[in-house]
Structure 1
Amino acid sequence: MEAITNFSVRIVQRYLPSAFVLALILTAIVFVLGMAAGGETPMAMAGYWGDGFSKLFKFGMQMTLVLLTGYVLAMTPPVQKMLTGLTHLAGSTRQALVITIVTSFVCYYLNWGFGMVAGAILAREMGRRVAVHFPLIVAAAYGGELVRGPSSSIPLVIATPGHFLEEKIGLVPVTETLYAPWNIAMTVALLVLLVLFFMVQKQPAKIDRLQIDETEEAPESVLDRSAMSPSDRIETSRMPTLFLGLLTAAYLLGQVFDGSFAITLDTVILIFLALGLLLHRNSASYLKAAEKAVAAARGIIVQFPLYAGIAGMMTDSGLVTQFSEAIISVATPTSFPLLTFLSAGLVNFFIPSGGGQWAIQGPIMMEAAAALGADPAQTIMAFTWGDGWTNQIQPFWALPLLGVAGLSARDIMGYLLIWLAISGVAIGGTFVLLSMMG
């Protein structure tokens, strides 16, 4: 395993382009496929790309704010103290890896946006204070991103009255999907496998540690407010950030009391915003941390629209439908769940949006499941797990984590490529076993 992983790391570091260049390569591949397999003209493909370009603007802004508010929260003195306490629990490299993996995995399970930032921040602090190869612990923090928990959109949509497939498949309760005993058992098994995989990794002879920014370590100096101008006094006052933080907290508490609160990207942003405002000393301190966070978010800002354009070309040219129908044509009742898992994983590499992918592939897959006599709940979960599985090697989803860590995709993808294979065997094998058991 160690030799295989080391080989994978070397290959990826040597040949994997940057996340931005990879997005351009995928754009070119889909552009050509649309003409070759879909029979589209170059102008038509350009139109599909342009129509899709803006469709992830809202989502891109949400992810930018998740990263920004989470990063700013991590820079507050109380959170720094808490993270330092966690790092002190790690007396060895292996303990640091286990703490990071388990913490990140649980956070991802609760909400993937929260897990993305929490895992990245914890890995960053471990890298600052523990003698661990930094790309290794960042990869370990990202490995749990494939888990499908309570915030997984597809099972939640299928369990909601009025969803667009209700007339065909009815309502499928989450007790048969997310909270089915076999799904919970597989989730726990994946956590164990993830820990074991990174535990057996041997650190390179020359450890690449995170370089500590001394300006982040320096405590804020005591300000002489008597010598300040009125505007400076406002900027260094506690009151503006305290007011906005309390206002945000009041809104969230109101949702809790009236029963409308739910963990979504928007609420994660508001929670991070409220805590960051309340825990920073003043607006000047908050904005200083935000300046660094904006630099970390540059990959999201630039690349999310590119993937939206790719999704537009895949959808409007009919490539997704052609691929799904090709998979179905060779499926059997036993192989169908596995093929659903694999097809969702492959399409996810080009359309990294679970809800959007389900809207395109879902009707086709569910009709095929009915024709083959496959279990609807298992088909839904096979699709859901496939949608998350290839996130391990899709830099699109790693951008927030890489932004916090200050690494590039090639630094961690060597480890994640092997974890992709291990987790794929575990998840795919589970669906084969379930289909054989009937």
Structure 2
Amino acid sequence: MTTAAPSTAAPAEKGLARVAQVMARWTEKWFPDAYVFALGGVVIVALAALLNGSSPQAVVDSFGNGFWDLTAFTLQMAMVVLTGYTVATSPPVARLIARLALVPQTAATAVSFVAFLSMSVSFLNWGLSLVFGGLLARAIARRQDMRVDYRALGAAAFMGLGAVWALGLSSSAAQLQATTASIPPALLQVTGVLDFGKTIFTWQSLLTCAILIVLTTLIAHFSAPRGLAIRTAQDLDVDLNDAPEPAAKRERPGEWLEYSRILPALLGLLTVGWLISQFVSKPFLSVISSLNGYLLVFLMLGLVLHGTPRKFLQAVTKAVPATAGILVQFPLYAAMAAILTKAEGANGMTISSHLAEFFTSIGSGGGFAVIIAIYTAILGIFVPSGGGKWLVEAPYVMQSATDVQMNLGWTVQIYNVAEALPNLINPFFMLPLLAVLKLRARDLVGFTFLQFTIHLPIVLLLVWLLGMTFTFEPPVIPAEAPAP
């Protein structure tokens, strides 16, 4: 089949895409690493507490005592990335990706196909979505019978994180609110435990997710470059060779177990047995809302799919660098949350109390929902961490929701749907995907910014309209909940 010759020069971008490229260049030049934002956030919160009348000792005590409050949750969020990566890079999934890459028949359909699958997989695990989407984009780009814009494919692969990840099972905020041990004591006293039946699996949340998937897929389809505007991976000098590493020779008797399929199979059977026991003895929602259980299943799934301990550990080694930002940033978010909620001023009020009063003054109903969504989206540009940012926001946002009698489960989902928006602008969570695609953030932001401009008003409309279908339910505090 004869294909059009690639353009020798990239055509100038126009309209929103041109604005996005300018913004991407500015961001890459002036935005420091997200860790710097976390450091600065701690300093700003500490200064705000001092200005609020808190004593220096109260501020430093809150900082130090709260620094490790999220140790368990930090590890859990790092494991979301690690387990998703190991499953996505397993041989069975690689074969599935190779078959899926043959499905689309046109360039625009290929882009929308990647976007749809990326978002669908993200509902299960956002870490899996990033790597799966990136590998699918590369597989489609290797096809010789069709010219597809590689930048648009890459942006489509990111849509799982840019549109619906926080409405799915690996949502940091929803997982935290459903796990008693992960909720800081001060927050637990405000919200109680909110299982997925009150957040992820409400019909309003599922409808929002479905609308965003359809909307995003259509935007990806109609914004895909055509004709001479297409820039393929070859045009961008991207190496598409994904050949697996050659198997190492077994030189020692002890290495036979490292290449054995018996141990992974036995661990897989144990996991299946445990899962059956959980579903038999516990309510369905409590089982699927368990973050530890969720991670156990995905970790063992990765082990079984890779087949041998050696191959699994090689995949884990490649996945670990993607967890670095979580490991070093979440303790800082924990410290910020502690200062916000524990460093009392001269009037006995904390920064969290003042913020709660401000949001409460907005009143109930659609206005409260829209303001919370806008606030979350703006803060997310500077604090690109769904779980860490929730721990900073939740104490005063959820207290405000209680004061104005906004449904607490829907408040979590307002945060979740709005929290994904800044991912379309801030390239922090693109980093693992960019490593797979071998592209730069500026190559994708032109397309993701277009998604952002259309998503924003739709999201605000949805949180306002659907919020009116809820009724307030007082939080149920567990009897064993520790005092804040």
Pick the TM interval, shorter chain.
0.7 to 0.9
Could you say which residue in structure 1 is the equivalent of 2:473?
Answer: none
Could you say which residue in structure 1 is the equivalent of 2:301?
Answer: 275
Could you say which residue in structure 2 is the equivalent of 1:103?
Answer: 117
More deviation in 191-200 or 167-176? 167-176
Q: Within 1, Cα distance between the matches of 2:342 and 2:392?
A: 12
Could you say which residue in structure 1 is the equivalent of 2:275?
Answer: 252
More deviation in 306-315 or 228-237? 306-315
Could you say which residue in structure 1 is the equivalent of 2:327?
Answer: 301
Q: Within 1, Cα distance between the matches of 2:67 and 2:440?
A: 24
Mark the CA change 1:42 to 1:93 in structure 2 (over 3 Å): closer, same or farther.
farther
Q: Within 1, Cα distance between the matches of 2:392 and 2:112?
A: 34
1:358 pairs with one of 394, 400, 416: 394
Q: Within 2, Cα distance between the matches of 1:173 and 1:23?
A: 31
Mark the CA change 1:140 to 1:344 in structure 2 (over 3 Å): closer, same or farther.
closer
5+ residue gaps, structure 2, are 1-12, 142-147, 344-349, 471-484
2:259 pairs with one of 232, 236, 243: 236
Is contact 1:53–1:305 with CA below 8 Å preserved after alignment?
yes
Is contact 2:86–2:312 with CA below 8 Å preserved after alignment?
yes
Q: Within 2, Cα distance between the matches of 1:179 and 1:230?
A: 50
The answer to whether the aligner puts 1:129 opposite 2:129 as a matched pair is no
Is contact 1:340–1:365 with CA below 8 Å preserved after alignment?
no
5+ residue gaps, structure 1, are none
Cα drift, residue 79 of structure 1: 1.5
Cα drift, residue 415 of structure 1: 4.1
Mark the CA change 1:32 to 1:375 in structure 2 (over 3 Å): closer, same or farther.
closer
Mark the CA change 1:40 to 1:347 in structure 2 (over 3 Å): closer, same or farther.
farther
1:88 pairs with one of 99, 102, 113: 102
Greater helix content: 1
Mark the CA change 1:27 to 1:157 in structure 2 (over 3 Å): closer, same or farther.
closer
Deviations 1:67-99 (A, max 9, x none): 223322333322211111111113333223222
Mapping 1:175-254, distance limit 5 Å: 183-203=205-225, 206-207=231-232, 211-212=238-239, 214=241, 216-218=242-244, 220=246, 228-254=251-277
Secondary structure, aligned partner of 1:54: coil
1:25 pairs with one of 33, 37, 56: 37
Mark the CA change 1:313 to 1:246 in structure 2 (over 3 Å): closer, same or farther.
same
Mark the CA change 1:335 to 1:66 in structure 2 (over 3 Å): closer, same or farther.
closer
Is contact 2:119–2:165 with CA below 8 Å preserved after alignment?
no
Mark the CA change 1:401 to 1:331 in structure 2 (over 3 Å): closer, same or farther.
farther
| Residue type of the alignment partner of 1:420 | F
Mark the CA change 1:352 to 1:149 in structure 2 (over 3 Å): closer, same or farther.
closer
Q: Within 1, Cα distance between the matches of 2:187 and 2:363?
A: 22
Deviations 1:16-61 (A, max 9, x none): 4698723313532552354255455777655544444323332232
Mark the CA change 1:69 to 1:191 in structure 2 (over 3 Å): closer, same or farther.
closer
Mark the CA change 1:98 to 1:415 in structure 2 (over 3 Å): closer, same or farther.
closer
Is contact 1:52–1:312 with CA below 8 Å preserved after alignment?
yes
More deviation in 399-408 or 251-260? 399-408
Could you say which residue in structure 2 is the equivalent of 1:12?
Answer: 24
Cα drift, residue 363 of structure 1: 1.8
The answer to whether the aligner puts 1:71 opposite 2:85 as a matched pair is yes
Q: Within 2, Cα distance between the matches of 1:376 and 1:58?
A: 24
Could you say which residue in structure 2 is the equivalent of 1:322?
Answer: 354
Mapping 1:31-70, distance limit 5 Å: 31-32=43-44, 34-36=46-48, 38-39=52-53, 45=59, 47-70=61-84
Cα drift, residue 339 of structure 1: 1.9
The answer to whether the aligner puts 1:117 opposite 2:128 as a matched pair is yes
Secondary structure, aligned partner of 1:217: coil
Q: Within 2, Cα distance between the matches of 1:221 and 1:177?
A: 45
Cα drift, residue 231 of structure 1: 1.8
| Residue type of the alignment partner of 1:363 | Q
Q: Within 2, Cα distance between the matches of 1:116 and 1:18?
A: 27
More deviation in 245-254 or 348-357? 348-357
Secondary structure, aligned partner of 1:266: helix
Number of residue-to-residue matches in the alignment: 425
| Residue type of the alignment partner of 1:76 | S
Deviations 1:181-225 (A, max 9, x none): 6554443322222122222334465445694575x51475596x7
Secondary structure, aligned partner of 1:335: helix
| Residue type of the alignment partner of 2:39 | T
Superposition RMSD in Å: 4.4
Aligned-pair identity in percent equals: 23
Mark the CA change 1:146 to 1:81 in structure 2 (over 3 Å): closer, same or farther.
closer
TM-score, with structure 2 as normaliser: 0.70
Is contact 1:246–1:278 with CA below 8 Å preserved after alignment?
no
Q: Within 1, Cα distance between the matches of 2:196 and 2:258?
A: 49
Mark the CA change 1:172 to 1:239 in structure 2 (over 3 Å): closer, same or farther.
closer
Is contact 1:35–1:41 with CA below 8 Å preserved after alignment?
no
